[in-house]
Amino acid sequence: MNGIVMVGMADVKTAQGEDILMTPGLGSCIGICIFDSVKKVGGMAHIMLPTAIGHAEGNPAKYADTGTNLLVEGVLALGGVKSRLKAKIAGGAQMFTFADKPQILKIGDRNAEAVKRELKKLGIPLLVADVGGNYGRTIHFSVNTGNLKVRTINHGEKVI
Protein backbone atom coordinates (compact mmCIF):
# COMPACT_ATOMS: atom_id res chain seq x y z
CA MET A 1 0.00 0.00 0.00
CA ASN A 2 2.81 2.43 0.94
CA GLY A 3 0.83 5.30 2.45
CA ILE A 4 -1.21 6.55 5.38
CA VAL A 5 -3.75 4.05 6.69
CA MET A 6 -6.46 5.80 8.73
CA VAL A 7 -7.74 3.97 11.81
CA GLY A 8 -11.12 5.22 12.99
CA MET A 9 -12.77 4.87 16.38
CA ALA A 10 -13.54 1.25 17.28
CA ASP A 11 -11.45 0.17 14.30
CA VAL A 12 -8.56 -2.20 13.60
CA LYS A 13 -6.27 -1.90 10.59
CA THR A 14 -3.11 -3.72 9.56
CA ALA A 15 -0.31 -2.67 7.25
CA GLN A 16 3.14 -3.64 6.02
CA GLY A 17 6.40 -2.19 4.77
CA GLU A 18 6.47 1.60 4.52
CA ASP A 19 2.85 2.12 5.55
CA ILE A 20 2.00 4.53 8.39
CA LEU A 21 -1.02 3.77 10.57
CA MET A 22 -2.70 6.89 11.99
CA THR A 23 -5.53 7.63 14.38
CA PRO A 24 -6.52 11.16 15.40
CA GLY A 25 -8.02 12.46 18.61
CA LEU A 26 -7.34 9.80 21.23
CA GLY A 27 -8.86 11.05 24.47
CA SER A 28 -9.81 8.32 26.91
CA CYS A 29 -9.46 5.82 24.06
CA ILE A 30 -6.28 3.79 23.62
CA GLY A 31 -4.32 3.35 20.43
CA ILE A 32 -2.61 -0.06 20.43
CA CYS A 33 0.20 -0.74 17.96
CA ILE A 34 1.36 -4.34 17.59
CA PHE A 35 4.15 -5.25 15.18
CA ASP A 36 6.71 -7.79 14.01
CA SER A 37 9.88 -5.80 13.30
CA VAL A 38 11.50 -8.64 11.34
CA LYS A 39 8.61 -9.19 8.91
CA LYS A 40 7.78 -5.42 8.85
CA VAL A 41 4.08 -5.98 9.49
CA GLY A 42 1.86 -4.48 12.13
CA GLY A 43 -1.45 -3.00 13.02
CA MET A 44 -3.31 -0.48 15.12
CA ALA A 45 -6.53 -0.66 17.10
CA HIS A 46 -8.50 2.33 18.41
CA ILE A 47 -10.03 0.97 21.63
CA MET A 48 -12.95 2.82 23.25
CA LEU A 49 -13.93 0.66 26.26
CA PRO A 50 -12.24 -1.90 28.54
CA THR A 51 -14.41 -4.98 28.01
CA ALA A 52 -17.08 -6.42 25.76
CA ILE A 53 -18.57 -8.34 28.70
CA GLY A 54 -22.07 -7.09 29.36
CA HIS A 55 -22.34 -5.20 26.07
CA ALA A 56 -24.53 -6.29 23.20
CA GLU A 57 -22.50 -4.20 20.75
CA GLY A 58 -21.40 -6.30 17.78
CA ASN A 59 -18.11 -4.51 17.00
CA PRO A 60 -15.22 -6.37 18.69
CA ALA A 61 -12.75 -3.59 17.76
CA LYS A 62 -14.46 -1.29 20.27
CA TYR A 63 -13.22 -3.16 23.37
CA ALA A 64 -9.76 -3.82 24.83
CA ASP A 65 -10.34 -7.53 25.36
CA THR A 66 -11.78 -8.41 21.95
CA GLY A 67 -10.05 -5.66 19.93
CA THR A 68 -6.56 -6.67 21.05
CA ASN A 69 -7.21 -10.23 19.93
CA LEU A 70 -8.61 -9.04 16.62
CA LEU A 71 -5.49 -6.91 16.07
CA VAL A 72 -3.15 -9.82 16.82
CA GLU A 73 -5.06 -12.06 14.38
CA GLY A 74 -4.68 -9.41 11.67
CA VAL A 75 -0.93 -9.05 12.19
CA LEU A 76 -0.46 -12.83 12.16
CA ALA A 77 -2.51 -13.04 8.93
CA LEU A 78 0.06 -10.73 7.29
CA GLY A 79 2.86 -13.14 8.23
CA GLY A 80 3.79 -11.83 11.66
CA VAL A 81 5.21 -14.39 14.07
CA LYS A 82 3.58 -14.46 17.53
CA SER A 83 6.88 -14.83 19.41
CA ARG A 84 8.23 -11.66 17.74
CA LEU A 85 5.23 -9.42 18.35
CA LYS A 86 5.74 -6.29 20.42
CA ALA A 87 3.38 -3.49 21.43
CA LYS A 88 3.27 0.25 22.05
CA ILE A 89 0.24 2.15 23.35
CA ALA A 90 -0.91 5.75 23.74
CA GLY A 91 -4.04 7.55 24.97
CA GLY A 92 -6.08 6.81 28.07
CA ALA A 93 -6.48 10.43 29.15
CA GLN A 94 -8.93 11.72 31.74
CA MET A 95 -10.60 14.33 29.55
CA PHE A 96 -13.21 15.53 32.07
CA THR A 97 -12.99 16.10 35.79
CA PHE A 98 -15.70 15.07 38.20
CA ALA A 99 -15.79 15.85 41.91
CA ASP A 100 -15.09 12.69 43.93
CA LYS A 101 -15.06 10.68 40.71
CA PRO A 102 -15.74 6.98 41.15
CA GLN A 103 -13.47 4.52 39.33
CA ILE A 104 -16.21 3.77 36.77
CA LEU A 105 -15.77 7.30 35.38
CA LYS A 106 -12.00 6.94 35.01
CA ILE A 107 -12.42 5.36 31.59
CA GLY A 108 -8.94 6.35 30.36
CA ASP A 109 -7.25 4.58 33.28
CA ARG A 110 -9.53 1.58 32.91
CA ASN A 111 -8.83 1.36 29.16
CA ALA A 112 -5.06 1.50 29.70
CA GLU A 113 -5.16 -1.20 32.38
CA ALA A 114 -7.41 -3.44 30.27
CA VAL A 115 -5.07 -3.19 27.27
CA LYS A 116 -2.01 -3.94 29.41
CA ARG A 117 -3.81 -6.93 30.92
CA GLU A 118 -4.72 -8.30 27.46
CA LEU A 119 -1.17 -7.88 26.15
CA LYS A 120 0.19 -9.70 29.19
CA LYS A 121 -2.37 -12.49 28.75
CA LEU A 122 -1.28 -12.86 25.10
CA GLY A 123 2.42 -12.82 26.02
CA ILE A 124 3.14 -9.68 23.97
CA PRO A 125 5.72 -7.36 25.55
CA LEU A 126 4.64 -3.74 25.98
CA LEU A 127 7.69 -1.70 25.01
CA VAL A 128 6.38 1.74 25.88
CA ALA A 129 3.17 3.47 26.97
CA ASP A 130 2.28 7.16 26.72
CA VAL A 131 -0.98 7.16 28.68
CA GLY A 132 -2.87 9.31 31.15
CA GLY A 133 -2.89 13.03 31.60
CA ASN A 134 -5.79 15.26 30.63
CA TYR A 135 -5.01 15.92 26.96
CA GLY A 136 -5.72 14.20 23.68
CA ARG A 137 -3.25 12.58 21.35
CA THR A 138 -2.94 11.87 17.64
CA ILE A 139 -0.65 8.98 16.81
CA HIS A 140 1.25 7.85 13.71
CA PHE A 141 2.83 4.39 13.73
CA SER A 142 5.53 3.34 11.25
CA VAL A 143 5.27 -0.38 10.57
CA ASN A 144 8.74 -0.32 8.99
CA THR A 145 10.61 1.26 11.91
CA GLY A 146 8.31 0.53 14.85
CA ASN A 147 8.35 4.23 15.76
CA LEU A 148 5.22 5.68 17.33
CA LYS A 149 4.89 9.45 16.89
CA VAL A 150 2.61 11.02 19.51
CA ARG A 151 1.32 14.54 18.79
CA THR A 152 -0.52 16.64 21.35
CA ILE A 153 -1.86 20.15 21.61
CA ASN A 154 0.18 22.21 24.09
CA HIS A 155 2.32 19.18 25.07
CA GLY A 156 4.43 18.84 21.93
CA GLU A 157 5.35 15.89 19.80
CA LYS A 158 7.58 12.92 20.58
CA VAL A 159 8.60 9.61 19.05
CA ILE A 160 8.46 6.59 21.31
Marked catalytic residue, from 12, 29, 34, 107: 29
Burial class (CB in 10 A: 0-12, 13-18, 19+), 86: middle
Tell me the pairing of strands 12-16 and 148-151.
Answer: unpaired
Is 33 assigned a catalytic role?
no
Please give the single-letter amino acid code of residue 89.
Answer: I
Query: What's the one-letter identity of residue 130?
Result: D
Q: How far is CA 42 from CA 82, 88, 121, 148, in A?
A: 11, 11, 19, 12
DSSP 9: T
- Catalytic residue numbers, as ranges: 29
